[in-house]
Structure 1
Amino acid sequence: MSETRLMKGNEAIGEAAIVAGCRYYFGYPITPQTELMEYMAKRMPQIEGVFLQAESEIAAINMVYGAAGAGARVMTSSSSPGISLKAEGISYCAGAELPCVIVNIMRGGPGLGSIQPAQADYFQATKGGGHGDHRNIVLAPNSVQEMADLTMLSFELADKYRNPVMLLGDGALGQMMEPVNLEEKPLVPQEKPWAANGQGERAKPNVINSLYLKPEQLEAHNIHLQNKYQKIMEQECRWEEFNVEDAEVIVVAYGITSRIARSAVEMARRDGLKVGLFRPISLWPFPSERLLTLAQQTKAFLVSELSAGQMIEDVRLATKQIKPVHFYGRMGGMMPSSREIYNQINLILKEKEAVK
């Protein structure tokens, strides 16, 4: 059974998590994700779930560690500085191989910054998010419908790989309202024989831990994790393409910026310009192989994001810079217009003509 509703992005995440079987939510309020927390505060008691406003972001992520260790589907959410506070706990979850979902509705920074939308947490999500050699799976929606769809996918991937998954949105997506179709699915109990949920008939109790005092054991554990991450890179890359087949310039953008960029691409196409859009959906693993293939046929790339330029580094690495990679971004909560991106496309094409 499915139902279409008009929902804010933050609310869509909450309801999708419930549909996916999340019954534990721990968080701490911070804009622009507070509606998600408020939604869970209302809905969790209605489904006999657990909602708890922790005393801090640090407490919230450690509560997630406990619930995930017991085998529950669990989620937390925050915005940029709050995710920074959760970083240690996220690393602990990765080290103990605990499946959980962490939502970051990004705001302007650095520091307290502003409550306006931004995408300056890309490095934090894809390169950091905690200490040590660990990775988070990172998914980036660009609509309220995808906020819901990718939330449900996040829980599936978290359980499949026993790994934290981060849903990376922004203040615009969190606050905007769009129709959402939420399909109710029968919940299949997740077999988690590793969970610390009572000894039962097991000969020995399960132990959840990320501490290895012997370096040989810790190295072996790290090798195991790296092998898992390699498997994720091979199997879980996701992206969307638009008019890239004959494109001389390919715009690379994710999240809310990809929607603005698509309007710019459509504008360029109406004017007879060969321009396309490549939208990474999984920011980690990053769809590098596909971008390298596109680099063989296009003339240049234009990366656009709400930052000083963070994803551009992954695009340059992916394409091995065999074609120029340009950048256009806005910061501090400012968002580009489709005309601004269109003008940047025009500049790149004019430069190409001048070189001829």
Structure 2
Amino acid sequence: MTSLAPHDAPPRSSTAPLLLVGAGHAHLHLIHQRERLPMPRVMLLDPGGFWYSGMAGGVLGGQHCPAADRIDPMALARRHGVEGLRGRLAEFDPARREARLDDGRRLAVSAVSFNLGSTVNTPPAHAEGPGVWPVKPIPRLVSLRHRLARDFTAGSCPRLLVVGGGASGVEAACQLRALADRYGVDPTIRLLTRSSELLPGAPPGAVRWLRRRLARRRITVETGLELVAHLPGGIMATPAGQPAGEDNARFVAAEHVVHAVGLAPPPVIERLGLTTIPGRGLAVTDSLQSPAAPWAFAAGDCAAIIDHPLPRLGVYGVRQAPVLRDNLIAWWRGEALRPYRPQPRALSILDLGRGQALAIRGGAWWGGRLARYWKRRLDERFLAGYR
């Protein structure tokens, strides 16, 4: 538990708002719970909508229209008495408690909470190389779907490469096959991962089950390889952990490369003037509070809990939301904050298309149509709560 020193108390005479930067899972919850927040003003800074990562694969594969995967945070804010401000944060000045937007606007705040999600770091694209498509931000997957739909309709069959053998990469590969099936075409689909196996840490039985399904869907899996560069007509890969050289370099032909590895905090994290953990994000204590500024909080993928690394999964942002809400209230009132305790086992359900899914929780797993039904119910329940 933590408590406040007198100089850390909120400026109660100030009309400056609590600023929510970003519209991730945790901030949607705060907006929905606005009546419980004691601050006179709460403002949302939103660059353009919330895309639900749990259904992103289904959007790519054509199961869902893009609109089904999107929530308008501004409409939600209006319904719950939160001020909405469309814009993108450029930098933050902790000494002034002031946010600067990319259009030059400045905004003084009483407190701030960051829920900015994550992005994907990709090697530079080549002018004559394949199309480069990171899985985040999700609108990039929507653009890829439209691009492939045009190609498939025209009878083109581009070679597709997915980089990353985790949940996002497996989903992307399966959904690309599902999209191709909708158009009656049969493109080459390869999945490349630097790990020695798919879904590192998953139960061996689940990985074997998944391998069989990928083989049936004609998705070639290559392990132990790392993409090092985009080249004309494809990519260069080398054995993971080895320096690139002529002896071990391998060319893989592709017209489109989907990057599902290298999730990282957004670059703006380095311009907040607050403590960060390289590669992980904005440093926070177990109360989701910045050690450099008690009035600054963070949750979700952009937050790095000191001494407790977490996978970048939406479920953690969802579970952090009530703790974030309670601690903002406690900070405002000068009360003790409570710690966030991550659950030891998180449920992950991979949407594999064709009505199939793979659910994993700790050492337990199950795959097939029942897992897909369960995922659909969970997704629908989450989205319905904010529409």
TM-score by length of 2: 0.24
Return the structure number with greater strand share: 2
Which structure is larger by alpha-carbon Rg, 1 or 2?
A: 2
Higher relative contact order (CA 8 A, sep 6+): 2
Return the structure number with greater helix share: 1
TM-score by length of 1: 0.25
